Structure 1
Amino acid sequence: MMPDQEGKRIFVVGSINMDVVSKVDRFPQPGETVSGLGTSFFPGGKGANQAAAAAKAGAACSMIGAVGSDPFGDALVHSLEDSGVGVQSVLTKEGTSGLAVITVSADGENHIVLSEGANGMLTADDAAAETDWGGVYAVLLQNEIPWETSKAVIRSASEAGVRVWLNPAPAREVPAELLPLLDTLIVNETEASAVSGIQVAHIGSAEAAASELLSRGAGRVVVTLGEQGCLCAESSGDRCAVPAYKVEAADTTAAGDTFIGAFAAACAQGSESREALRFAAAAAAIAVTRHGAQSSIPSKDEIEAFMAGELAGE
């Protein structure tokens, strides 16, 4: 049965992690020990973050993923529920949940070490059993679950006429045969460079990389450039660039995921690309002023107020 293309639901198939975040004045050099300024535990994972961002931005969103049988599992599921994400398809696997050890420096940059845990046990059969494409607007995927599982979801969704959005993070090459199945490819500078083969450092090189990926079959390419803003290029020939909002960053963890989830939510609710990009940029700007992953993601009301100038300077 062909799904309703006007459906507003978003599926996220991806990772669910507990982030163990330690603050430091500066990152250590190899072999060096530095004193931490405090450690906190935050629910995260690229998939879960994007799902939480989409739900908080007003979209109906469900998560397909896996947590472990350890004490973190329940906390991770409850965090998604608190964000408004449907968790009926979050599975429990015997063993540990995904774990990210994150070090955040005084200037808000981060280093991340990821242990996949239960995320690595999410199979293509698991995803297929939990997926009903009826009325789904788009499915969002990343690279923190097995690639074979992601490939199966991409093919299944594409065959069903559902938009496929891929954020290939951590960065890896996307097979040529899959690019034509992607409605939207969202990448930062590092990911754009890895996928396109073109070194990306600014808007000009981002446009060159986007053009290359469009020529290989992607329907739309969005390149995020941090403080330089973002670029959107579509197979129709449309191009637009949106500047970043100026804020003082406290923690950049989950900023990219917040952007992606908010962008997907805005598109699902009928926004055109430029309007959706501005909304997503505002969501990411708010997120970097806060600590943590899902805990930093703003609501739709907060995003709209920020865009209206009511949160300027906070």
Structure 2
Amino acid sequence: MSRVVVVGSANVDVTTQVPTLPAPGQTLLATGTALLPGGKGANQAVAASRWGIDTELYAAVGADSFGRLLRSALAEQGVGLDRLIETGSEPTGLALVTVAADAENTIVVAPGANSALTAGAVADLPAHLGAGDVVLLQLEVPLATAAAAATAARAAGARVVLNAAPPPPASGGLAELLAGVDVLVVNETEATALAGTGPPGETAGWLPVAAALRALGPAAVVITLGGDGAVACAGDEAWHQAALPAAVLDTTGAGDAFCGVLAAALADGRSLPRAVRAGCAAGAAATEGRGAQAALYGRDQLDARMGEGA
């Protein structure tokens, strides 16, 4: 069976619940707080592993209690950690997450040890990839690292899925990376930033935005739209995938669940439309628990949620 190899960040999320997101200069009293495993790379690796596919994570943590917390949490979820680096020069990455009563959130990330995941850290990647594997990347680690991983994946015949979040500066070298991407996944904010456009007024208006992003180099583009599902563009086809129903509690990590399951479904042999639908199911499920990894489900549960089988 093919595998998912994630190259990305690992953070501890300091999460607080508040009635509304604070305005500039405003102080609020939280109604709850938690210390939870997170980071885009780690979240996506857990989502892929929960799908039921062999998943390996290239990431870096500090030699501290937060690093030990992450290592333990990832191991419990079945994520392969042979390439998890521990560095004494930087603390484990930290994310400050504020979640409002309407489930919207703001996130500030202090990268810390994630900066230690250099291009050299993925030098052995080609030896661990096969033609059916999927390499999943995000941009909470150095862009040069993501580019090196994409080059290695292409050399091995593996597919590259890039979640371009957060988007780098315009001069950051993203253009070269996009040229080697099989599937680009972005949310609404990231899509408009990369396309240089404003948000369209209706869901169908995102289809031309996806086509514009595809012109930047990726073979396919998926734009996640939260409660409106997702749109995708590949080849001569473009389509809208409606969102699946959810009892929304916390949207933190929903996009990561989407990306992890999308990559796992592709590695599992599913077509891109079916993988996008599975990603939407995973994203919906992820909003029903607190924290980025609290409500992730396996393949059979997500298939049942979609009303279909493998």
TM-score range, shorter chain: over 0.9
Residues 1:110 and 2:102 are matched in the alignment: no
User: Cα offset for 1:265?
Assistant: 1.0
1:268 matched residue in structure 2:
267
2:214 matched residue in structure 1:
214
Task: Tell me how far apart the structure 1 counterparts of residues 24 and 178 of structure 2 sit (CA, whole Å).
Answer: 38
1:287 matched residue in structure 2:
286
- TM-score, with length taken from structure 2: 0.92
Kindly tell me: are residues 134 and 246 of structure 1, through their superposed partners in 2, closer, same or farther at Cα, counting changes over 3 Å?
A: closer
- Structure 1 SS opposite 2:67: helix
Task: Tell me how far apart the structure 1 counterparts of residues 199 and 267 of structure 2 sit (CA, whole Å).
Answer: 29
- Structure 2 SS opposite 1:271: coil
- Structure 2 SS opposite 1:151: helix
Q: 1:1-314 to 2 correspondence within 5 Å?
A: 8-94=2-88, 95-129=90-124, 132-135=127-130, 137-172=133-168, 173=170, 175-201=174-200, 202-234=202-234, 236-308=235-307
**238-247 or 220-229, larger mean C-alpha shift:** 238-247
Task: Tell me how far apart the structure 2 counterparts of residues 77 and 218 of structure 1 sit (CA, whole Å).
Answer: 33
Task: Tell me how far apart the structure 2 counterparts of residues 132 and 49 of structure 1 sit (CA, whole Å).
Answer: 24
1:312 matched residue in structure 2:
none
Unaligned runs of 5+ in 2: none
Q: What letter is aligned with 2:228?
A: Q
User: Cα offset for 1:198?
Assistant: 2.5
**207-216 or 57-66, larger mean C-alpha shift:** 207-216
1:121-172 CA distance string (max 9 Å, x none): 1111112145524325111111101112112222222233221111110123
- Structure 2 SS opposite 1:251: coil
1:83-107 CA distance string (max 9 Å, x none): 1111110010113100001111111
Mapped contact 2:126–2:155 kept (Cα < 8 A): no
Task: Tell me how far apart the structure 1 counterparts of residues 139 and 256 of structure 2 sit (CA, whole Å).
Answer: 12
User: Cα offset for 1:263?
Assistant: 1.0
Task: Tell me how far apart the structure 2 counterparts of residues 215 and 26 of structure 1 sit (CA, whole Å).
Answer: 38
Q: Percent identity?
A: 41
Unaligned runs of 5+ in 1: 1-6, 310-314
Mapped contact 1:89–1:130 kept (Cα < 8 A): no
Mapped contact 1:64–1:130 kept (Cα < 8 A): no
- Structure 2 SS opposite 1:178: helix
Task: Tell me how far apart the structure 2 counterparts of residues 264 and 273 of structure 1 sit (CA, whole Å).
Answer: 10
Mapped contact 1:133–1:162 kept (Cα < 8 A): no
